[in-house]
Amino acid sequence: MAINAAKTVLKQGKTALFICDVQEKFVKAIHEFDKIVQNSTKLISALKLLNVPMLVSEQNPTSLGKTIPELDISGAKGPFAKTQFSMYTPEICKELETLCCGGKPDSIILIGVETHVCVENTAIDLRQNGYEVHTVADCCSSRTQEDRLLALERMRDIGCHISTSESVIFKILRDAKHEQFKNILAIIKAPTLYTGLVSVSKI
């Protein structure tokens, strides 16, 4: 299948981050949750330096709790409470209209839980409405690894770009001459934590 390389580009001023339902009640239930959170923290810190706008949702927060305090969502839009299994709610759609420099983003970076439920349903709705979606695999998880990996495959099948946190950061950074390059390097100095996305062969 031919790939339009232009659609894989992430541009400052035309890209936003969606943080999907990283809530208190998921802490003990989600596969590799602590590692997902550490990777997400690194990504969020870098995207803040790059002035990427962020939008946060919470699934039924009365039952599932608030967004975990480990994630710095200061300055983000939301959190927006929801019950549907997609972040593409009327309230969030309204925010999208002016989220990036007074207009809509072209691309959405998508992280959160659960990969096969709210993350996947959000990706489907975003793709159906014309957005490029970059699902950050090492910042997404489910209760089981099987659900997580199969959901990532399905999202790829509908045209999502399945990426990693560092790949996304460098796509927006684009050039070592960027004014935030040294600050970004300090953030990514620690390696991204392995979350079981690929098999590691023993030599």
Domain ranges of the chain: 13-188
Over pLDDT 70: what percentage of the chain?
A: 94
Q: Quick one: pLDDT at residue 13? A: 93
Q: Which residue has the tokens 């950074």?
A: 173
List CB contacts of 20: < 8 A, sequence separation 6 or more: 57, 87, 110, 111, 112, 113, 118, 119, 122
Choose between 183 and 3: higher pLDDT: 183
Distance between CA atoms of 199 and 62, rounded to whole angstroms?
38
Nearest to 168 by CA among 132, 125, 135, 190: 135
Phi, psi of 124 (to 5 degrees): -60, -50
pLDDT value of position 6? 60
With CA atoms as reference, report the closest residue to 67 among 83, 54, 56: 56
The per-residue pLDDT for 3 is: 56
Fold of domain 13-188: Rossmann fold (3.40.50)
Position 82 pLDDT exceeds 50: yes
What are the catalytic residues? Answer: 21, 82, 118
Mean pLDDT of all residues in 150-175:
97
pLDDT higher than threshold 90 for residue 136: yes
Both tokens of 35, joined, read 């590692």
**Mean pLDDT to the nearest integer, 119-137:** 98
Residue 86 pLDDT: 98
**pLDDT at residue number 1:** 44
Once rounded to an integer, what is the mean pLDDT over residues 4-28?
90
Predicted confidence at residue 5, as pLDDT, reads 60
Helices (H), the chain: 33-49, 61-64, 90-96, 120-128, 145-157, 165-173, 181-188
pLDDT score of 198? 86
pLDDT score of 166: 96
Assess whether pLDDT exceeds 80 at residue 203. Answer: no
Q: Note the pLDDT of residue 191.
A: 87
pLDDT, tens digit, for every residue of 31-69?
999 999 999 999 999 999 999 999 999 999 999 999 999
3-state secondary structure at position 94: helix
Nearest to 95 by CA among 109, 107, 78, 108: 78
Residue 134 pLDDT greater than 90, yes or no: yes
What's the start-to-end Cα distance of the chain, in Å? 34
